[in-house]
Amino acid sequence: MEHIISHFQLQGAPIRCERYGNGHINETYLLETDAPHAYILQKVNRQVFPDVPNLMRNIQLVTSYLWQQTPDPRRVLTLVPTTDGQAYMVDPDGEFWRVYEFVTDSLCLDRPENERDLQQSGLAFGTFQNQLASFPAHTLKEIIPHFHDTPVRYEQLKDAIRMDRAGRVKEAKAEIEAYMAFEKYAGFLMNLLKQGELPLRVTHNDTKLNNVLLDAATRTPLCVIDLDTVMPGLAANDFGDSIRFGAATAREDEQDLSKVGMSLQLFEAYARGFLSACGTRLTPLEKETLPMGAMLMTLECGSRFLADYFNGDVYFHNARPGQNLCRARTHIKMAQDMESKLGQMQKIIESIV
């Protein structure tokens, strides 16, 4: 690790470097120096991201664009260059490492403590989308093709079932059936996109609550992080992924399914924050499709957890055996709850608009 750290232009000498955060993809460390100064050191997951140079190029383009609007290292994710001025280094094993400024006095939440926290995260992601509204989208590389193409994700689930690499399909017949019962919805947003009814925007694509930092003192938005998947996408998906995670009544991997559902109060809180920041930019149809975005992102993410379970847990970090199956179960339960609440969600959006 010392060899890797020595490649970056740091203030002070390193004194501590420990695993940090609850991300499912990258290997993240909090790195502290005697300056004193703190950094985030990350090994980028190259199984998930096969084209790290272009991923890093996207992040550089987006963060320098945001920096022009808000030149403040607590408000824009800030890359720390290597000693030879690069945005990342490659170690002898071919692993990619990068360093960010640690955003100090910030909160990263896995659950909102109250409705206001979620409203503030909505404000953060809505503002992010607003700030990137004029960003030249064509300069961004599509880092994971079909990332939020729900019908393709369903096909990937079916492939995983067919291959049954880990021999687990027999344990999850009921879950498979439940997901398949929702397949009829999968193409809803992608069809509107193909018909030219919905616009592509520069979106974050991974808008969960723990990808935004709030100011620890005021609990107001500081900085949107985890920019690996910034690409052209649909506003409803950015909205929906936040609802999937933040408006849930239980954790992503809750084992007691009786606790799992979507809270309409939290839904409303997020919608208020999000729409107050970017509502005027969205078309009437984009606003109308926000509830569907919530349900589809929940189904899609759940189908990805289930597929990963069948593939032998090769994509998402798993802290315990069966965690992916557990996540898939909460997500289908959430999607069922959302289906029954689509009308109420619609009314909430109309009341805000």
Smallest separation, CB 26 to Mg ion (Å):
8
Smallest separation, CB 245 to ligand GN1 (Å):
6
Smallest separation, CB 196 to ligand ADP (Å):
32
With respect to ligand GN1, which residue has the nearer C-beta, 103 or 301? 301
Residue 65 interacting with ligand ADP (CB under 6 A): no
Residue 108 interacting with ligand ADP (CB under 6 A): yes
| Residue ranges in 204-233 that form contacts with Mg ion under rule CB under 5 A | 211, 226
| Residue ranges in 267-306 that form contacts with ligand ADP under rule CB under 6 A | none
Smallest separation, CB 345 to ligand ADP (Å):
27
Residue 76 interacting with ligand ADP (CB under 6 A): no
As given in the structure block, the two tokens for residue 126 are 């809505």
Binder of ligand ADP out of 4, 17, 28, 33 (CB under 6 A): 28
Smallest separation, CB 297 to ligand GN1 (Å):
8
Are the C-beta atoms of 38 and 18 separated by less than 8 Å?
no
Alpha-carbon gap, residue 52 to 49, rounded angstroms: 6
With respect to ligand ADP, which residue has the nearer C-beta, 80 or 335? 80
Residue nearest to ligand GN1 (CB): 24
Smallest separation, CB 143 to ligand ADP (Å):
12
With respect to ligand ADP, which residue has the nearer C-beta, 105 or 177? 105
Interacting residues toward ligand GN1 by CB under 6 A: 23-25, 48, 206, 208, 211, 226, 228-229, 241, 252, 301
Residue 100 interacting with ligand ADP (CB under 6 A): yes
| Cβ neighbour number for residue 167 with a 10 Å cutoff | 9
Contacted entry of ligand GN1, ligand ADP, Mg ion, none for residue 125, CB cut-off 5 to 8 Å set by kind = none
Are the C-beta atoms of 328 and 260 separated by less than 8 Å?
no
Quick one: 84 exposed, middle or buried, by C-beta within 10 A (0-12, 13-18, 19+)? exposed
Smallest separation, CB 49 to Mg ion (Å):
13
Length of the chain in terms of residues written: 353
Residue 77 interacting with ligand ADP (CB under 6 A): yes
Summarize as ranges the residues that interact with Mg ion (CB under 5 A): 23, 211, 226
Summarize as ranges the residues that interact with ligand ADP (CB under 6 A): 20-26, 28, 40, 77, 100, 102-103, 106, 108, 210-211, 213, 225-226, 228
